[in-house]
Structure 1
Amino acid sequence: MNSFAAIAGRLQWLNLPVVLLVTLLQRTPVLRVASTAGEIIHASPIGAVLRAAATVASLGALHSLAGATQYVQNPPSPVTGAVGTRVTVAFTITGSPQPPNFFTLQGSLPPGLDTIPALQGNRIQSDAPVITGIATQAGTFTFSVTGSCGAYSQTDTITIVITGGAVAAPTITTQPSGLVVASGANAAFTVVATGSPTYQWRKDGVPLGGATAAALTLTNVQAVNQGTYSVVATNAGGAATSNNATLTVTPVSAAPAITSQPVSQVSAVGLSTTFAVTATGTPALTYQWLKNSTPIAGATGPTLTLSGLTLGDAGNYAVNVTNSFGTVTSAAATLNVNAAATAPAIRVPPSSVTMSSGGTAVFNVSASGSPAPTFQWRRNGLPLAAATTPALVVKATTETAGVYSVVVTNAVNSTISPNATLTVATTAEISRLINLSILTNISAADPDFTIGTVLGGAATFGNKPLLVRAVGPSLGALGVPGVLDDPTFEMFAGSTSFATNDNWGGAAALSNAFAQVGAFAYVAGNSKDAALFNPSIPARDYTVRVSSGVTGGSGAVIAELYDASPGATFTATTPRLINVSVRKQIDTGATLTAGFVIGPIGGTAARTVLVRAIGPGLGVFGVPGTMPDPKLELFSGGTVIAASDNWGGDAQLTAAGTAVGAFAIANLQSKDAMILVTLAPGNYTAQVTGVGPGGVALVEVYEVP
C-alpha cells in the first residue's frame, strides 16, 4: 500500500472522500501529524496508556517539519510524577515517509521505570517505544533519547521530576483461607494487598514456580498437593507475608485396583524370594496372599517374602486386595524352585572383534547358574550404564575402542568373563555378505520354495553383477544322497518375472562366473543344474522361486546367490547384498540349513548380522500353517557359536530390526527366534528346526549398519 492510501485509511472516521483527504494531507502537515500519532497510539499494545499520555499534550505541542519524519515526546519534558505512581513517556511519529527504526538511550532512568520493549544494551528496537513504570525514588533525572533510521536521527533531552517520600510497604488486607477439597477437584487461594505489590506463592515455605499472581489456582489436586500455602507481597517499600492457609485433600472412595502385578520368580533351595503388588483404592486396603488359590496364614501385606525355600514352595502365587467397596485378585505369579543354587559359570565368553569405524559391534556371553544370573558389562574395567543383558551392542569409534568384559552374578557368587577387545580398523576394507545358500528338499507335497535378496545399502549407487544357481545333480558328486534331478528357477522383481533357467547348458561365461566367486563347478556341461549370471542388475529387491523342472520331482537341492563384484573394485558406494532370506515349509523333525559368507575372505574387519527364524510372527500376514516354535542355531564349522529358541522381546533385537528395515514382531512373548552377532570374515551356517510341530518358517540374514 502506498503512503497516501495508508493515511487515507487512517482517516476514514472523518467521513471525507479519499481525493479530498489526500489533498488535505498534502497541504496540512499538522493534520497529518495528529492522524499518524493517533494511529500509533491506538495500535500499540498499551494503547490505553498512550491514549492517556496523548491527551496531556495538545496538537500545538507536536512539532513537525513538513515532508520529513519526526518523533514527538508525550508529555513534553519536563515530566513530573510522584513516588508510588505510574509515570509514562511515549514517543509518537509525525511526518513522512519513514519512521525511526530504533531508539538509543543515554543516561539513567528513574528507579522503577523501564522501556517497552526492554533495552538491549542502550538500544530500544522499536519505532514507537514507551518509558513507563511505578516510580520508587524521588529526584530529578535527565537523560537523552535518539531516534534513528537510515535517513536521519533526532535527539531529545528528557527530564523527569519525581516527588514524594519512600514507598509504603505492602499491607495484606485479605488473607488466604484454608481449603478442604476432594481429590481431583480444583483449589483456589486469593490474597488482597495494598501498595501495588508483586506476589510469590509458597508451599510449605518453598516458592512455587510461576505462582506470581494475587490468586493461586491448583487443578486436579491430589494428596501430593496437601500442605501449607502462603504468599509474599513485595514492592519497593518492602514485603509482607500472609498467614498460612492449609490445603487438605480428601480421598474419593474407590474400589481396589491393581496397578502393578506380582512378577514370576526363579530361585533355588535355601534362598529367599519376594513377591509384591501395588494397588489403589479408598478407604484403606487389606491384602491376603494365596498359594495355588489357598490363603497363606499371616501373609497380609503388599509384599510376600519367602525365606529358606524348599522344592515344596514352588507354585502359583496371587493376592486378594480388599476394601469396603470390593475385592480384586491379582494375576498369578509362578515361583520355580531349582534343586540347589549354583554359582554362575561362563560357558561362551565374548570374543574380540575388529570393526570398521561406525560399524555395529556385538559382544555376546553365555552363562549358567541357579538362580539365573544377571549381567554387568564393563569397558576398560568401568561399568557401562544400562549394559545388563547377555548381549552388548556398541558403535565402533575411537572413543568406544577398548577392552570389554562382563560380570555375571547370582545369589551364590559372581564371576568375570575373559577380556574381549574392540579394535577400530584403519583400513578401507568393506566387510559384507557375499553369498547365501539354502539346502533343503523339494517334494510333490512341497514342490517349491522362495529365496529373496535386497541389493543396495546406504550411500550406494549403480548396478552390480549377481550369480544365481539351483543345484541338484552336481550335489551328488559332493556326497549328497537323493538329489533333485532337474531343478529350475524363476526370478522376480516385485511381482514381475524377468528371468528363468532350467538347464545351465555349459556356458563358458557361467563357468567363469563360478570360478570368480569361488562356487564349486558343475559335474558336466549338460547337467540339469540351473544357473544365471547377470553382469549388471539394478539395485533393488528380488525373489527367486526354485522348483522341479519335472512335475512331481523330489530330492535335495541347494539354491545360491553370489555377489559377483570383483573384490579389487569394491568400494563403499558399490551395492551390496544387505538382506538374504528364504521362506520354506519345514516338516516335523526336519531341518532347514542356510549358509552365508562374510567377505572379503581373508579380510580382518568383522560384520554384524541379524539372523531371524520367524514362525508365529508370520501370522499377521495371513500365512497359514506357520511353525509354532522355531529354534535357531548358528555354526562356524561344526561349532555352535550362538543359539536362540524364543527371542524374549529383547530391546536390542527390536532396535536392530528397526535399523535394517525388518518387519516388527509385535508380540514380545512370541516364540520366534533371533540372533544378533558380530562375525569375522568366513563361512557360517544357520540351522532351523521346530520345537514340536513343523510348519512354514522365514529365515532372514540382515547386514546391520
Structure 2
Amino acid sequence: ELAQTQSWYDAGITINDIAPSNLFKNSAAIAEQLSVTLAQDTLTQMDTLLAKANSASTEGGFRILSSPESRSTTLGESFYFRAHASAQSALQYQWLHNGAEIPGATSAIYGKASAKGSDAGSYQVRVSSAGQTLFSSLATLQVNTANVALDFSRQPQGATLVSGQSLTLNANTNITDNVEIRWQRNGSLLTSQRSPTLQISDVANSDSGAYRAIASRNGHIIYSNFAHVHVTDALSGIQITEHPQSTALLNGQQAALQVVASGGGFLRYQWFKNGVKLSGATRSYLTLTNVSPSDEGSYFVEVSNSSGKIASSRAEIQVISNSAALELLEHPRS
C-alpha cells in the first residue's frame, strides 16, 4: 500500500523492475534475523504483509501504480512527468505527446530543462511487459508566457554582396507562438516579407541599406538591431594603368615606387623584391628611404581583388656609391 501513496511517489523512489512481493520478502527475511529484538506481533504483521504482496502479485500482476499528473510551467522553465508500474518481468516505457511517440523517451520519467510553446498538450505513457501493454491516464501540460518578455534571441547580421548574389537575414525571438515578424529597410516596411527569414535573390545596388526586423505579439512590439547591407557592382578584371619605374639612386637617397590600378571591389596590394614578399608592403606605393646597396634589386607589385590578381612589370633599383668617380657617359653632339 505504501508503494501506491503520493508520499512514495514524491520521494522519487522507483521500483520499475522490482516486484512488490520481492520487497516484502526481503523485509520478512530481515525481520526473521532480528526476531530476538522484535515483538511477536511485528513478525505477525510482516507475515501478513508478505501474504498480501504475494496475493497481489499473483492476482493483479502487471499494472500501472501511478500515472503522470497534469501541470503547468513557463516558457524557458523545466517540466517533467513520472509514471510508476509494476510487473513480474522487465518493463518498457514509451511516452506519447498528443498521441505521437516522443523519440528516445523510454524511461519512467520524461521532461525538458527548457519548455517551448510546442511542448504544451497531452502526455501519456505506454508501458509494456511480457507481451502485455497498458496506457496511463492522460496528463496535460500548460506552457505560460505571461511572465516572459518578448525579445530577440538572434539578431540579423550585416553583409557585403556583389550584384546578382542572394541576401539572407535571420531574426528569431525567444517566443514563437503568435509572433509576427516584419522587415524594414531604411525606415520603409517590406510588405512582402513576414517571416523570421528575409530573402532577396539577385540583389542590386538599390537593395543596399539598413535592415531591421519588427516583432509583434499581442500588441507588444520590439525592434531588432540594424543590419547594414552593402551591394557593389559585379567585379571586373584588374587593369594596371601605371607600372613602377626603374631608377638609379645614390647612397642615402629616397625613392618611391608606385602603381595605378583599377577594377571592381576592394583592391589589395603586395610588393615583392627579387621574388620575395616584403612584409607590411601592402599599399599602392612603396617608399625606400636612406637606400644602400642592400636595397638593389628587382621590384614588382601584385594587385588582387576577390575575382583574381595581376602582377605589375618589374622595376630595377640601382644604388650608386657616393665615392664613385664622375664619368661622362654621353657627350653633346653637333
TM-score with structure 2 setting the length = 0.47
More strand by share: 1
Name the structure, 1 or 2, with higher relative contact order (CA <8 Å, separation 6+).
2
